[in-house]
Amino acid sequence: MPDAQPHNTSAPSVEGRIFRPANEAELREAVELAFDYRGDVTLELTSGQKIKGYIFNRKALASPPFLQIFPQGQPGELKISYADIVAIAFTGEDTASGKSWEAWVKKKESERTAEAARIAAEAQARGHL
């Protein structure tokens, strides 16, 4: 079921922060933050490899837990086990930062009002009103 509730936009952005989880619970929390983040992240793996990209899926309850990422500059996607993640850096611009649910609702209402006015003007021009 889709998330029908607006996300908390009053929390400060994690843009520019680096999370180095000390345990599995912290890692799960960091992955959730990265999944909700609307920008690229950089994953540092146990191998020393760094992968920058956009996390589009995660399966915390899978055995073993994993995430999926669209790596920057590479075609396709990668599947990364949580156990392979040492750190998550929020390196890309947070495209949702500073945008609130209220601003979105106001914009949509303005678009609806403008569309209704346009339709009314067209109907009046045709002599229907």
Give pLDDT tens digits for 71-111: 999 999 999 999 999 999 999 776 665 555 566 677 788 88
Rg (CA), the chain: 21
- Which residue in the block uniquely carries the two structure tokens 């890692």? 27
**Strand, coil or helix: 41:** strand
| The model's pTM | 0.64
Give pLDDT tens digits for 45-60: 999 999 999 999 999 9
Question: Which residue type does 129 have?
Answer: L
Cα 2 to Cα 109: distance, rounded to the nearest angstrom: 22
Token digits for 124?
């009046």
Token digits for 107?
């914009």
Share of the chain above pLDDT 90, in %: 52
Cα 12 to Cα 33: distance, rounded to the nearest angstrom: 12
